[in-house]
């Protein structure tokens, strides 16, 4: 294996040996530096931070015995986001990561019109070192009006490994989705997703979009709605909402991809009022499973449905009488 002569926070210098000869530069470096993802190394090379024998190189360049390489490790810029004390429902935490249950209504990242009061503001107040980790350690997000489980990396090495798991589709995510429509069986939706043709704030199924795969099965059947168990292979923006709407199964309460309120014929006033006032997509990230980025242990977590969604399902169940439950 290569001989490392310098390795600091901002600089790495090494020379290759017989074991590395013939490998691509990015592959050789990812083997030598296990705490740095290959994607990150490729970004360093692209940005000119990696010099092979004193010259910029390309990821595919092959290395030779005794060649030297110098890396100026880019510094992570502190986030321009203020810490703000926000109540966080932490489900699990260790030195590498934390898992939390995000409530509906909480924005994940600051943006136009949401500079404060976001999950990231709260995370920085809870654990200040996240300021020095890219994106504050957040490796995936949930829509503002979606509730449920999220994982946050507490170290840069953990962040990179979790991103790799997401790209390799080894992170297991299961959602509960209450949709309009009656189903007799589950299925899989394989439709590419991209920006909406006219509304840039929306996503849509379109042939030139990115591949997206959503699996769904029946959880509970009500009279005019169905509670689905949904799992993802990919993580496109608004994927569940777009795919189910495209399938003719829009989420109850979805303000963007939903449809007009449809009340079951003969429903009582309590159910009518609950459906009228449920003004967010009925979507909850119930379960999360992943490989621990430091120990390699397989971990999983589950959280119950939030009170507003549970109350609506209880009323739908009472309205439907006897249900078919899996």
Residues 186 and 155: their CA atoms lie apart, in Å, by 39
26 flagged as catalytic: no
Residue 230 is encoded by which pair of tokens? 């949904």
Residue 271's CB: how many other CB atoms inside 10 A? Answer: 19
Catalytic residue among 143, 254, 308, 319: 143
- How many whole angstroms separate alpha carbon 128 and alpha carbon 131? 6
182-198 burial, b if ≥16 CB within 10 A, otherwise e? eeeeeeebebbbbebee
Q: Do strands 90-93 and 97-102 pair parallel, antiparallel, or not at all (unpaired)?
A: antiparallel
The single residue listed with the structure tokens 């109350």 is 311
Residue 102: burial class (beta carbons within 10 Å; 0-12, 13-18, 19+): buried
Q: Which residues pair with 188 in a beta bridge?
A: 215
* Residues forming the active site: 143
């Amino acid at each position: 294996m290569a001989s490392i002569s310098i390795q600091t926070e901002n600089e790495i210098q090494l020379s290759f040996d017989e074991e590395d000869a013939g490998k691509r530069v990015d592959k050789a470096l990812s083997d030598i530096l296990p705490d740095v993802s290959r994607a990150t190394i490729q970004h360093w090379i692209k940005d000119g931070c990696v010099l092979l024998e004193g010259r910029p190189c390309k990821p595919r360049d092959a290395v030779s015995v005794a060649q030297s390489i110098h890396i100026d490790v880019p510094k992570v810029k502190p986030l321009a986001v203020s810490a703000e004390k926000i109540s966080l429902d932490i489900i699990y935490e260790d030195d590498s990561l934390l898992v939390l249950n995000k409530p509906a209504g909480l924005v994940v990242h600051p943006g136009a019109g949401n500079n404060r009061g976001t999950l990231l503001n709260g995370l920085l107040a809870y654990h200040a070192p996240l300021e020095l980790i890219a994106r504050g350690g957040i490796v995936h997000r949930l829509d503002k009006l979606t509730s449920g489980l999220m994982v946050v990396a507490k170290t840069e090495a953990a962040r990179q490994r979790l991103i790799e798991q997401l790209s390799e589709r080894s992170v297991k995510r299961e959602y509960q989705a209450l949709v309009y429509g009656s189903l007799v069986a589950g299925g899989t939706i394989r439709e590419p997703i991209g920006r909406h043709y006219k509304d840039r704030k929306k996503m849509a199924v379109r042939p030139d979009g990115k591949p997206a795969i959503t699996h769904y099965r029946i959880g509970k059947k009500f009279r005019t709605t169905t509670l689905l168990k949904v799992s993802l292979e990919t993580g496109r923006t608004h994927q569940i909402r777009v795919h189910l709407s495209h399938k003719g199964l829009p989420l109850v309460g979805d303000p963007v991809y939903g449809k007009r309120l449809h009340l079951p014929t003969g429903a009582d006033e309590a159910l009518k009022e609950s459906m009228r006032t449920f003004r967010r997509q009925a979507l909850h990230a119930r379960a999360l499973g992943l490989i621990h980025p430091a120990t390699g242990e397989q971990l999983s977590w589950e959280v119950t449905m939030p009170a507003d969604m549970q109350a609506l399902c209880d009323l739908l169940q009472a309205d439907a009488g006897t249900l078919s439950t899996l």
